[in-house]
Amino acid sequence: MSLPGCLVQTLQPVTVLVTSPGLSGWIAKVEARLQGRRGPRVLKPYYDLAQLFRKESLAPEGAS
């Protein structure tokens, strides 16, 4: 049984976008361990992205 082509084409970018911050966090954790440090949480990139998307953009009044 195989998935339709359009579903596969949709799932591939979604999978990459969802898992890439986790992979980045895991790599940072491993690098810190190799250097003898504790390192950040593996989920830290997800927290950073959530904070970035909640951030309000500020522009002074009268600015173009």
Which domain range does residue 30 map to?
17-52
**In the chain, how many domains are there?**
1
- The answer to whether position 22 is within a domain reads yes
Residue from 19, 24, 18 nearest 45 by CA: 24
Q: Which amino acid is at 16?
A: V
Tens digit of each residue's pLDDT (9 = 90 or more) over 3-31: 898 999 999 999 999 999 999 999 999 99
Place of tokens 């927290």: 47
CA distances (Å), 51 to each of 39, 41, 55, in order?
Answer: 20, 15, 6
- The answer to whether position 59 is within a domain reads no
Q: Is the pTM of this model over 0.85?
A: no
Give how far the C-alpha of residue 17 lies from the chain's centroid of Cα atoms, to the nearest Å: 7
> Helices (DSSP H) in the chain: which residue ranges?
5-34, 44-54
- The answer to whether position 6 is within a domain reads no
Confidence category of residue 58, pLDDT binned at 50, 70, 90: confident
pLDDT tops 90 at residue 35:
yes
Residue pair 46/22 in contact by the 8 Å Cβ criterion: yes
